[in-house]
Amino acid sequence: MKGVVILGSTGSVGRQTLEVIRSFDKKFHLVGLTAKKNHQELSKQVQEFNPPFAALTNEAKEEIGAASWIAPNDLVKKPEVDIVIVAIPGLEGLLPTLTAISHGKTVALASKEILVVAGQIITEETLRSNANILPLDSEHSAIWQCLAGEEGSDIRRLILTASGGPFRQSKPGDMLGITPKQALAHPTWRMGPKVTIDSATLMNKGFEVLEAHWLYNIPYEKIDVIVHPESIIHSLVEFEDKSIKAQLSYPDMRLPIQYALSYPERWTNESMDALDLIKISTLTFEKVDEERFPCFRLARQAGEMGATFPAVLQSADEIAVELFLEGKLDLPTIPEYVKAALEAHSPKENPAIEDILEADKWARSYVLEQHDNTA
């Protein structure tokens, strides 16, 4: 039995991970669950899965049911832990992820923000400690699956697919009056609020380009993105001989989660539907419109500039998204704030974790200041 920890167990990825574990309960034992403040859901989970540890990071250090409180950073290094699922938006999972890696654990990573801001540090530490990072993002899981058995093959291009989000067909002017409710209505995926808004602005796809760069050690110029509204092809790899491999399935996060948990095996899960290609019949592709979705371009630029720019990108975006969700900002202002923060930032090359956290703090207060000045 593999010992599993889930950071962010009450969220969309966390709950779907528990669904997979419920289907294969003989193969896993839960060592710990953490969330921020959702006491009710975490208590339910503790009652059902009976982990020895559980914690709400924003609340008092209380026991939840029969589970003892523990700081996430201490939880992930417990000897009985084999896999740590990191599914917390933003940077909160950064330090526990680094700790898990430095203790040689396998980290199944949904929180792409961590690789966006600290890709260099995470990859170096993974190599040093002989740990493993397994992608949970469906696109990166697809690439991982396409690369299986291709160890000696040269890659010509990684092609990430994007659903295009709810505003794929809207005109630039239409974006002004968009409400949080409209932006939260993603056409193909059910996700937490931060990643859903990032999907609507295509910032999420930009983050995924940086994530792919670090996970697969591929230069940015070899990473393309195409819009594929049906979200059936989750990503593709083009090899030097111009042959392309793709991974297809219905959009269901349980599949990449299960693959990371079952790897290197594949398991039968009757609760997931087999793909019916005749019923789907048509798959379509479009170019990304970078004029209408400036967040996508900003993310790529920040990745290429490196240093502490990706940290500023992430944190400025996080605060701008929060302001939008509170109804204090229009959707098109998100990239404006992010761009202003990137332009005003004094970067630190080869940043250490402290530099990244400093850049994060700076970007947050910069955006809030900008907002106060314009409000």
Ligand X SMILES: NC(=O)c1ccc[n+]([C@@H]2O[C@H](COP(=O)([O-])OP(=O)(O)OC[C@H]3O[C@@H](n4cnc5c(N)ncnc54)[C@H](OP(=O)(O)O)[C@@H]3O)[C@@H](O)[C@H]2O)c1
Rounded CA-CA distance 293/287 in Å is: 12
At 117 the three-state DSSP class reads helix
For the bound state, the minimum distance from the C-beta of residue 343 to ligand X, rounded and expressed in Å, comes to: 25
Shorter beta-carbon distance to ligand X: residue 234 or 300 = 234
Q: In this structure, what token pair is assigned to residue 3?
A: 């010992």
For the bound state, the minimum distance from the C-beta of residue 178 to ligand X, rounded and expressed in Å, comes to: 20
What phi and psi values does residue 191 have, to the nearest 5 degrees? -140, 175
Shorter beta-carbon distance to ligand X: residue 191 or 370 = 191
Rounded CA-CA distance 90/358 in Å is: 15
> Which residues here bind ligand X, judged by CB under 6 A?
8-14, 35-38, 57, 87-89, 92, 110-113, 137, 189, 191-193, 195, 253
Are residues 313 and 91 in contact, defined by beta-carbon separation less than 8 angstroms?
Answer: no
Shorter beta-carbon distance to ligand X: residue 111 or 145 = 111
Q: What are the b/e assignments for 264-275, b being 16+ CB within 10 Å?
A: eeeeeeeeeeee
For the bound state, the minimum distance from the C-beta of residue 81 to ligand X, rounded and expressed in Å, comes to: 17
Rounded CA-CA distance 85/107 in Å is: 6
Sheet holding 2-7, edge to edge: 53-56, 28-35, 2-7, 83-86, 106-109, 132-135
Shorter beta-carbon distance to ligand X: residue 58 or 179 = 58
Strand 83-86 to 223-227 pairing = unpaired
What is residue 347's DSSP assignment? Answer: -
Shorter beta-carbon distance to ligand X: residue 3 or 93 = 93
Shorter beta-carbon distance to ligand X: residue 38 or 269 = 38
For the bound state, the minimum distance from the C-beta of residue 230 to ligand X, rounded and expressed in Å, comes to: 17
Shorter beta-carbon distance to ligand X: residue 296 or 370 = 296
At 312 the three-state DSSP class reads helix
For the bound state, the minimum distance from the C-beta of residue 322 to ligand X, rounded and expressed in Å, comes to: 12
For the bound state, the minimum distance from the C-beta of residue 14 to ligand X, rounded and expressed in Å, comes to: 5
For the bound state, the minimum distance from the C-beta of residue 11 to ligand X, rounded and expressed in Å, comes to: 2
- The residue number with the shortest CB distance to ligand X is 11
- How buried is residue 351: exposed, middle or buried, by Cβ count under 10 Å (0-12/13-18/19+)? buried
Q: What is each CA distance from 233 to 28, 141, 159, 283, in whole angstroms?
A: 29, 12, 10, 8
At 310 the three-state DSSP class reads helix
Rounded CA-CA distance 160/193 in Å is: 22
Residue keyed to tokens 């995926």: 189
For the bound state, the minimum distance from the C-beta of residue 86 to ligand X, rounded and expressed in Å, comes to: 8
Shorter beta-carbon distance to ligand X: residue 3 or 14 = 14
